[in-house]
Amino acid sequence: MNVNIEENSALRRKLTIEVEPDEIKRELDKTYNELRRGVVLKGFRPGHAPRNLLEKFFGDQVRSEVIQKLVKEYTDKALEEHNLKPIVEPEIINEETNLPATLKFSAVFDLKPEVVLKDYQGLKVPEETIAITDKDVDDTIERLRERQASLKKVEGRDVVEEGDVAVVTIEGFEDGKPLSEAKSENRLLEISKKSLAHGIDEVLIGAKVGEENRKVRTYGADYEQKELAGKTVEWRANVKEIYKKELPPLDDDFAKDQGDLQSLAELRDRVRSDLLTHAKSEADSRARAGLLDLVLDRNKIDVPESLVTREQRTMESELASTLRQAGMPEEQVTERVQSAAEDIKTRAHKRAAGSLILEALADQEKVEVTDDELAERIGAIMRQAGTKNRERFSEFYGQEQNREGLRQTMRREKAMDELLTRAKVSGDPEVAPQQT
């Protein structure tokens, strides 16, 4: 094995590795011998298929497997021999491949920067005043009633009013031509600004059942939905049926439907408690973010490009998943993720830097996660996963690298917990900024 190391920057390395022909031949022979024992070809006894026929029928598959195995084996070997520890799995670039004579490839990766934190002791974070009002409780209970509302068909009225729920077919036209992304057919719509975008509520209010209602709306060039931006659209709506929402009575029976409760008073108490818990959790998250920002400001570090890229891909995947769950078409999901790329990259850089800071803090403060703590966390994850996903999670955390990844995540969490616990409340000019 011939290895050439290039230092492209303080953290980036490129290993160019050339595998000796004898090693390539050895692995090819081994793979074909294993294949011969398991494959059956017509006219030959099991285990006796000639090599030339195996190469004819399975050559591409074997070469692919051999290349993959040798790349992994020799990359790991080169990294170990030269005491190099990539912060993210190396990117592999095939330089020259012509088995069995040649296999040359490059592994490009970043090293973990050495981070020694300073000025992180004695930081302060203000304590937020958290108050849950009666209105907060009322609004939450009203949302519960909304979710359990039933629909009653409107009798004696055939004109849509604000707040109605109607079965509607609506389509947008520009210069008499239909817009492909601006059509809803036989949809049940709540007629309100809160529920309908693009001013559709104004198009539908006053519409009469069985008659086409037309209204024209013009959208600015900077309108958020690109399909409508800069266009004058004629909306054509046909209302088929009108309904009114009927909310369940706000009484003890309603409270009993919400779980193990006996009265409306108990429901209010539980809602208030849940709101308080949620508010405290959000305040805690803001305090942690503000405290981490302060540490980042005091400790400028080089963040490896590959770590930022990994965080960016994770965040893009999370955004796409959220949009799909909300029912957004795949084309719009792709467009939305692409339009948010710069913002995501900025946040990914910050998240990567924060991760390095907390790892350094855990190292300096000698924070450890015991096997019992790790097992308890995995157990909690398994319980939350439910029966359906339990086997998948069990297999995932059965692998050592995944358990170790979770352990490192927990170390960072514990380091942040300790930093937050030490942070005194107010009374000092060095106060972590609040996140908005």
CATH of the domain at 277: 1.10.3120.10
Whether the Cβ atoms of residue 160 and residue 180 lie closer than 8 Å to each other: no
Residue 230 has pLDDT above 60, yes or no: yes
Residue with tokens 């692995």: 27
Residue 55 has pLDDT above 80, yes or no: yes
Same domain, 211 and 102: no
Average pLDDT in the 404-433 region?
76
Range of the domain at 60: 2-110
Whose CA is closest to 198, among 168, 240, 234, 158? 234
Residue 138 has pLDDT above 50, yes or no: yes
| Residue 432: partners with Cβ closer than 8 Å, 6 or more residues away | 123, 124, 125, 126, 287, 290, 291, 293, 294, 423
Tell me what pLDDT residue 424 has.
56
Whether the Cβ atoms of residue 90 and residue 108 lie closer than 8 Å to each other: yes
CA distance 117 to 364: 8
124 within domain boundaries? no
Whose CA is closest to 235, among 292, 302, 189, 291? 189
Phi and psi, residue 175, nearest 5°: 55, 40
Tell me what pLDDT residue 425 has.
53
133 within domain boundaries? no
324 within domain boundaries? yes
Same domain, 329 and 193: no
Residue 73 has pLDDT above 80, yes or no: yes
Pairing of strands 102-110, 12-18: antiparallel
CA distance 167 to 209: 10
In the chain, pLDDT over 70 holds for what percent of residues? 97
Query: What is the number of structural domains in the chain?
Result: 3
- For the record, the structure tokens of 50 come out as 């000639």
- When comparing pLDDT for 154 and 327, which is higher? 154
Tell me what pLDDT residue 434 has.
44
Residue 316 has pLDDT above 80, yes or no: yes
Residue 428 has pLDDT above 80, yes or no: no
Residue 63 has pLDDT above 90, yes or no: yes
Residue 132 has pLDDT above 90, yes or no: yes
Tell me what pLDDT residue 350 has.
95
pTM value is 0.71
Chain segment 81-93, per-residue pLDDT in tens: 999 999 999 999 9
Q: How many residues are present in the chain?
A: 436
Mean pLDDT of the chain: 90
Pairing of strands 212-218, 232-246: antiparallel
Chain segment 327-338, per-residue pLDDT in tens: 888 888 898 899
* Domain termination residue (choose one: 203, 218, 246): 246
Same domain, 197 and 284: no
| Residue 312: partners with Cβ closer than 8 Å, 6 or more residues away | 341, 344, 345, 348
Average pLDDT in the 74-99 region?
93
CA distance 330 to 321: 10
257 within domain boundaries? no
